[in-house]
Chain A
Amino acid sequence: MSLLEVVDLSAAYGPIQVLHGISLTVDAGEVVVVLGANGAGKTTALRAISGLVAAKGELRFDGVSILGRHPESIAHRGVSHVPQGRGTLAGLTVDENMRLGAYSRRDREGIAADLAEWYDTFPPLAKRRSQTAGTMSGGEQQMLAVARSLMSRPRLLLLDEPSLGLAPLVTKQLFETLATVNRERGIAMLLVEQNAALALELAARGYVLEAGEIVASGTAENLSRDGEIRKAYLGR
């Protein structure tokens, strides 16, 4: 049984249908990427999974249906969404943002231990603990968004274009850290990316989303060899 099972999921904003019945799975500890052009419905897919957008179809996390549940209840189950544009709270300090990530947890010692661990994993954040998040660079804010999500001890991380607006080198470092987190903690990730080359390096499997439908899927290796995908998303 997969950790996340999405079967024939559709979603619409008012009269505009964005997702036309997509199906995908993410296994425990697996990294899966969804590739697609602007407007293909990638963000909507993540928003539907985390409960921010109403959807139809089947949506199961760890065998339990989470369709139609409130975002906070889905978050409590272990799905953590890192939204596009990061969603860090600009007026709060790094530390406060991190503690907010642990909002649904009550184990003080565990929170303190995780805080120390993630500051260890993301050293630039440790240096800026008491700085307001809004004054940090884009890369640092993206790190903060990921680290904050990890504070909830998720089993599945939903990452919406983490590379958006970041310098290539910063993106590369971020993806290396994500790989480390996945390897060491076994946290599954569903990643939506425009930077297909890097994403396919990180992911084990991938799906290609076009106009709200899944048009291709396979292992990362096969996808990166596919001629059309190379032309459309890898630019070579």
Chain B
Amino acid sequence: MRGRALGIGTRAGAALLTVGVLAWLPQYYGATDTALFAKAIYIAIAALGLNLLTGYNGQVSIGHGAFFGFGAYATAILMNDHGWDFLATLPVVAVASFVVGAAVGFPALRVKGLYLALITLGLAALFPDLVTKYVHGTGGTTLVQPPLPTSPGWAQGFAPNDDQWRYYLALTIGIVMFILAWNLVRGRFGRALLAVRDHDAAASTIGIDLARIKVGSFAISALYAGIAGSVGVMVTGLANAGRVETFQLSINFLVAVVIGGTATVLGPVVGAWTFVFLERATQDLFPDQALLSPAIFGVALILLLFALPDGIVGGARRTGRFARRKLQARRAPRAPDFPSPIREDRQ
């Protein structure tokens, strides 16, 4: 409801066009690029969830890579060791991540801000150790490589290659998760999230159960990260939870949320795609300078935030409002409310 400017028709049209372009991508691009697009999708799913927690509810987590890993391993192990179908693992991952997220969310009732961020950081540090202890993957390592879904007969018309099929699976899951997040945010729960973030005393006297909202948003964001992990396994064919990867993912999700625009539904999606493509674009600039690419990538992110402090979607909204005001001012030059005394004098 905030800053709603475009009509419903314009919005529906834009949504259809976007989905159309996303569906067309793997038809035109090859397998390498399609994998990259799919990566943007699963980062976007995790960022959508993290945005509910961090953007809308104001609880910063730098440990959501752990929930991602949890979902990834759950799917990989169920497929690999128990012969489950990929899609069948999703409901299990959703419920399990939700429960684990709720359990981790309980400390959030006592600690806030930086301290909460530190606790979630501990989660990201702990998770790889748990994996090392309990997961016995290929050749004694912690890697699990499940058999991946292949393009079924009826889909040969539009997705003859398996990577295309997997991209479409990822896209479908992504769209479903997006619509769910959108509905959550627009309704009663979304308003409660913001109320708890902005004014917890007022929220509780309105009748909002702070504990339920805080733990609930943790659980839902964990569910999103878990599903993102499942999709990640389906795209990359690999569940892996090294220390570095878990940290890096946690930060990536946060970066996607921030550069896209916190507390906007579209922000994390735009942020995830921007993030993945900036990373890709800076990768091959200097083939023999391994350290230069991440540095340029970092500078690009800093510049982006410098230009758009409230993220890409936030910035776009601001520009839209500004342009609309200008346009209205030009269409109907407003008569001054009071006759200007200075002008009167001149006449």
A92 at the interface (CB under 8 A from B): yes
Q: Is the Cβ of B207 less than 8 Å from the Cβ of A89?
A: no
Identify A90's interface contact among B198, B205, B207, B210, CB under 8 A: B198
Which of chain A's residues have a CB closer than 8 A to the CB of B198?
89-91
Instruction: State whether A81 and B205 are in contact (beta carbons under 8 Å apart), knowing that A90-B198, A91-B2 are contacts in the complex.
Output: yes
Q: Is the Cβ of A103 less than 8 Å from the Cβ of B202?
A: no
The tally of CB-CB contacts under 8 A between chains A and B is: 76
Q: Is the Cβ of A75 less than 8 Å from the Cβ of B204?
A: yes
Q: Is the Cβ of B188 less than 8 Å from the Cβ of A103?
A: yes
Min CB–CB distance A128 → chain B (angstroms): 13
A76 at the interface (CB under 8 A from B): yes
User: Secondary structure at chain B's binding surface: helix, strand, loop or mixed?
Assistant: helix
Identify which of residues 68-104 in chain A touch chain B, using a CB-to-CB cut-off of 8 Å: 70-72, 74-76, 80-81, 83, 87-93, 95-96, 99-101, 103-104
B305 at the interface (CB under 8 A from A): no
Interface residues on A, range: 20 to 34
A28 at the interface (CB under 8 A from B): no
Identify which of residues 174-198 in chain B touch chain A, using a CB-to-CB cut-off of 8 Å: 188, 191-192, 194-195, 198
B327 at the interface (CB under 8 A from A): no
Identify A104's interface contact among B202, B207, B210, CB under 8 A: B207
A141 at the interface (CB under 8 A from B): no
Instruction: State whether A71 and B204 are in contact (beta carbons under 8 Å apart), knowing that A89-B194, A90-B198, A91-B194 are contacts in the complex.
Output: yes
Min CB–CB distance A46 → chain B (angstroms): 10
Min CB–CB distance B309 → chain A (angstroms): 16
B6 at the interface (CB under 8 A from A): no
B1 at the interface (CB under 8 A from A): yes
Closest B residue to A100 by beta carbon equals B191
A52 at the interface (CB under 8 A from B): yes
Identify B1's interface contact among A74, A80, A96, CB under 8 A: A96
The CA-CA distance from A76 to B204 in the complex, in Å, is 10
Q: Is the Cβ of A99 less than 8 Å from the Cβ of B188?
A: yes
A130 at the interface (CB under 8 A from B): yes
Q: Is the Cβ of A100 less than 8 Å from the Cβ of B205?
A: no
B199 at the interface (CB under 8 A from A): yes
A132 at the interface (CB under 8 A from B): yes
Min CB–CB distance B268 → chain A (angstroms): 18
A50 at the interface (CB under 8 A from B): yes
The CA-CA distance from A89 to B206 in the complex, in Å, is 12
Q: Is the Cβ of B1 less than 8 Å from the Cβ of A130?
A: yes
Which of chain B's residues have a CB closer than 8 A to the CB of A152?
206-207
Q: Is the Cβ of B192 less than 8 Å from the Cβ of A100?
A: yes
Identify B208's interface contact among A72, A83, A93, CB under 8 A: A72
Identify B206's interface contact among A90, A95, A100, CB under 8 A: A100
Closest B residue to A71 by beta carbon equals B204
Min CB–CB distance A229 → chain B (angstroms): 30
Q: Is the Cβ of B206 less than 8 Å from the Cβ of A101?
A: yes
B201 at the interface (CB under 8 A from A): yes
The CA-CA distance from A120 to B102 in the complex, in Å, is 42
Which of chain A's residues have a CB closer than 8 A to the CB of B188?
99, 103
Which of chain A's residues have a CB closer than 8 A to the CB of B326?
none
Q: Is the Cβ of A89 less than 8 Å from the Cβ of B205?
A: no
Could you give, for residues 10-26 of chain B, a 1 whenever the CB lies within 8 Å of some chain A CB and a 0 otherwise?
Answer: 00000000000000000
Could you give, for residues 44-72 of chain A, a 1 whenever the CB lies within 8 Å of some chain B CB and a 0 otherwise?
Answer: 00000011100000000000000000111
Q: Is the Cβ of B206 less than 8 Å from the Cβ of A92?
A: no
Which of chain A's residues have a CB closer than 8 A to the CB of B4?
130
Q: Is the Cβ of A87 less than 8 Å from the Cβ of B199?
A: yes
Min CB–CB distance B130 → chain A (angstroms): 35
Closest A residue to B201 by beta carbon equals A52
The CA-CA distance from A72 to B211 in the complex, in Å, is 10
Min CB–CB distance A111 → chain B (angstroms): 10
B33 at the interface (CB under 8 A from A): no
Instruction: State whether A52 and B205 are in contact (beta carbons under 8 Å apart), knowing that A99-B188, A100-B191 are contacts in the complex.
Output: yes
Which of chain A's residues have a CB closer than 8 A to the CB of B201?
52, 71, 83, 87
Q: A99-B191, A100-B192 are in contact. List 20 more A-B contacts (CB 8 A).
A: A51-B205, A52-B205, A70-B204, A72-B205, A72-B208, A72-B209, A74-B205, A75-B206, A80-B206, A87-B205, A89-B195, A92-B195, A96-B2, A100-B206, A103-B188, A103-B191, A103-B207, A130-B1, A130-B4, A132-B2
B-to-A contact residues, CB < 8 Å: 1-2, 4, 188, 191-192, 194-195, 198-199, 201-202, 204-210
Cβ-closest 5 pairs across A and B: A87-B202, A104-B207, A75-B207, A71-B204, A81-B205
The 24 sampled A-B contact pairs (Cβ below 8 Å) are A50-B205, A52-B201, A52-B204, A52-B205, A72-B206, A72-B207, A72-B209, A75-B204, A81-B205, A87-B201, A88-B202, A89-B194, A91-B2, A91-B194, A92-B191, A92-B194, A92-B195, A93-B1, A96-B1, A100-B191, A100-B192, A103-B191, A103-B206, A132-B2
